[in-house]
A and B are shown apart, each in its own frame.
Chain A
Amino acid sequence: MDDLYREIILDHYKHPHNAGEISHPSCSAEKVNPLCGDEIRMDIVINNDKVTAIKFSGQGCAISIASASLLTEYSMGKKIKDLLRFSKDDIVDLLGSELTPARLKCALLSLEVIHTALKNYETKKT
């Protein structure tokens, strides 16, 4: 257990990176985890098919906030198509810990929101 609540995760939870909103994002999305009511929103700015700014807002448990923080950090400068390929296993790697199915939902929430936002962007573009 102490594995999941390592310093790094607690640190990202208490002092999340990229928390906030962007006033004119290229795309955004938000989602609720029906299990606990947690809510995450992502605002993303895209230039030349790359993420140049990303911020998240909302409320959630340690795992969902830490994963939003880690994931937004990771996403900076990445290509849309690479981010769309980012998977469940990659999240687990990013958090550096095994997760129970319930906690996996928390960890995946922000990834789902990013994917939704990016897909919205792509459909808008075409």
Chain B
Amino acid sequence: MKISSIRNDFPVFEKNKNLTYLDSAATALKPKQVIDSVVQYYSEYPSNVFRGLYPLSQRATEAYEKAREKVAQFIHAHSPSEIIFTRGTTESINFIAYAWGRLNIHSNDEIVTTIMEHHSNFVPWQELVRENGAVLKVIDIDDSNKDSLFRIEKTVFSKITTNKTKLVAITHVSNVLGTINPIKEIIAGVKRINPHCLVLVDGAQAVPHMSVDVQDLGCDFYVFSGHKMMGPTGIGVLWIRKELLEIIPPFHFGGSMIEKVTLEESRYAPPPQKFEAGTPHISGAIGLGAAIDYMNTIGVTNIQKHEMALTEYTLKRLNDFGSITMYCPQIVRHRGGVLSFNLYDSENHLIHPHDVGDVLGLENICVRAGHHCAMPLATRLGIPASVRVSLHIYNDKKDIDRLIEGLEKVRKIFK
């Protein structure tokens, strides 16, 4: 697999010479195949779905539903009706918190989550327990020694789950540490103790980089965003296990989600339509379908292999650089391509990540500096913020070499 030819698929590199993009965990770059699919929808068949009897609308409906099928196959869902299009991970999680959580989680019930969650898988639950007097339990990471995996161990979950636990909400891959949590084992442990406890998995950083099988994982809800997997912004996915599709009420009400409306009451359409009120993000779904095609053409295992090799190289270059503290596991086998670290000056003072990011930015090297929407984790690690580098299929060793050159420059300025 030639990365140089893959880079040719991304118009952004033509428009920005010397771009080193290391912020794919925030959002991924878009290949022309995805951009073209969106342009094609808007220029050739820009009609609404499910409504018109004319050919354009039929074509739009088919493309929209085809995208749903692609998503279903991609994450090994039982059927496309389990796939609900949302605006993204955040909306998918709020969907569950509102439509299911507020009906089923009551005072003294428990929600279990972890310290490494993105705010989008933390604040909705904090808000829910604040409203209804349920209890939010937060599991810690293991970073006790140099070889620690910075992950959530399954044994901890088994200890903390009780018959009052209604929901476990956990991320598949951390957007700060790069940790891959042992989700399948964790879920098996949780369900052994409490078979009625539902499990929501935040797959925002997993689906773009590794093969995911929602049935094999054994979760009940799986959520992710299109824009992190080279698809458009504003489209995301909520997967709901089929047994729950009938039980969970709609989140939004209005057009498209009904079967029959009278003055007295309304009957809802079957899933997934009952969960998608209003005109959906048609071009977004089509673009996401194209992104999945693109990933399949390269092969998800090839993407993962490439990122693992590059992660290994990045870890080595950063470790050799010195005066660096890494907040991530060192063993490539157990991690994705997200690396967080901080630099220190000659007097061993933190060089603020914001300054690092700024100096790199002036060289057109894009990294993230901040708390990465995971403030409880930053607090737990005892740092105000960190620098984050995240990789994707279009990155190569040259990007990492430029990063290291940029860091040299930072070190020179902040001696």
Give the contacting residue for A36; candidates B359, B370, B413, B414; CB below 8 A.
B370
Residues of A within 8 A of B213 (CB): none
Interface stretch (choices B93-101, B142-150, B177-185, B349-357): B349-357
Tell whether, in the assembled complex, residue A5 and residue B385 are in contact, meaning their CB atoms are under 8 Å apart: no
Interface string of B351-373 (1 = CB under 8 A from A): 01111001101100000011100
Tell whether, in the assembled complex, residue A36 and residue B354 are in contact, meaning their CB atoms are under 8 Å apart: yes
Instruction: State how many angstroms separate the Cβ of A10 from the closest Cβ of chain B.
Output: 7
Residues of B within 8 A of A36 (CB): 353-354, 369-371, 384-385
Interface string of A55-69 (1 = CB under 8 A from B): 000011111100000
Residues of B within 8 A of A64 (CB): 354
Tell whether, in the assembled complex, residue A38 and residue B413 are in contact, meaning their CB atoms are under 8 Å apart: no
Interface string of A74-92 (1 = CB under 8 A from B): 0000000000000000000
A50 to B362, alpha carbons, bound, how many Å?
40
Residues of A within 8 A of B56 (CB): none
Give the contacting residue for A1; candidates B362, B371, B375; CB below 8 A.
B362
Chain B 353-404 interface residues, beta-carbon cutoff 8 Å to A: 353-355, 358-359, 361-362, 369-371, 375, 378, 384-385
B interface, size bucket? 10 to 19
Tell whether, in the assembled complex, residue A10 and residue B371 are in contact, meaning their CB atoms are under 8 Å apart: no
Given known contacts A5-B413, A10-B413, is B384 in contact with A37 (CB within 8 Å)? yes
Tell whether, in the assembled complex, residue B362 and residue A61 are in contact, meaning their CB atoms are under 8 Å apart: no
Residues of A within 8 A of B353 (CB): 36, 61
Instruction: State how many angstroms separate the Cβ of B361 from the closest Cβ of chain A.
Output: 8
For residue A106, CB closer than 8 A to chain B, the reply is: yes
With both beta carbons as reference points, the residue of chain A lying nearest to B352 in the complex is identified as A61
A35 to B354, alpha carbons, bound, how many Å?
10
Residues of A within 8 A of B358 (CB): 4, 61, 63, 100, 102-103
Give the contacting residue for A62; candidates B352, B362, B371, B385; CB below 8 A.
B352
A64 to B385, alpha carbons, bound, how many Å?
14
Tell whether, in the assembled complex, residue A61 and residue B359 are in contact, meaning their CB atoms are under 8 Å apart: no
A16 to B362, alpha carbons, bound, how many Å?
25
Question: Taking each of A62, A63, A103, which has the highest tally of chain B beta carbons within 10 Å of its own beta carbon?
Answer: A62
Residues of A within 8 A of B370 (CB): 35-37
With both beta carbons as reference points, the residue of chain A lying nearest to B383 in the complex is identified as A37
Tell whether, in the assembled complex, residue A37 and residue B385 are in contact, meaning their CB atoms are under 8 Å apart: yes
Tell whether, in the assembled complex, residue B384 and residue A62 are in contact, meaning their CB atoms are under 8 Å apart: no
Instruction: State how many angstroms separate the Cβ of A62 from the closest Cβ of chain B.
Output: 5
Residues of A within 8 A of B361 (CB): 100
A40 to B371, alpha carbons, bound, how many Å?
17
Residues of B within 8 A of A37 (CB): 370-371, 375, 378, 384-385
Instruction: State how many angstroms separate the Cβ of A104 from the closest Cβ of chain B.
Output: 12
Tell whether, in the assembled complex, residue A1 and residue B378 are in contact, meaning their CB atoms are under 8 Å apart: no
Chain A 88-121 interface residues, beta-carbon cutoff 8 Å to B: 100, 102-103, 106
Give the contacting residue for B359; candidates A1, A35, A38, A39; CB below 8 A.
A1
Residues of A within 8 A of B354 (CB): 36, 38, 60-64, 106
Residues of A within 8 A of B362 (CB): 1
4 closest Cβ contacts across the A-B interface? A61-B354, A61-B352, A1-B362, A36-B370
A-B contact pairs, 20 of them (CB 8 A): A1-B359, A2-B413, A5-B355, A36-B354, A36-B369, A36-B370, A37-B378, A37-B384, A61-B352, A61-B353, A61-B354, A61-B358, A62-B354, A63-B355, A64-B354, A100-B358, A100-B361, A102-B358, A103-B358, A106-B354
6 additional A-B residue pairs with CB within 8 Å, beyond A10-B413, A61-B355, A64-B354: A5-B355, A36-B370, A36-B371, A39-B384, A62-B355, A103-B358
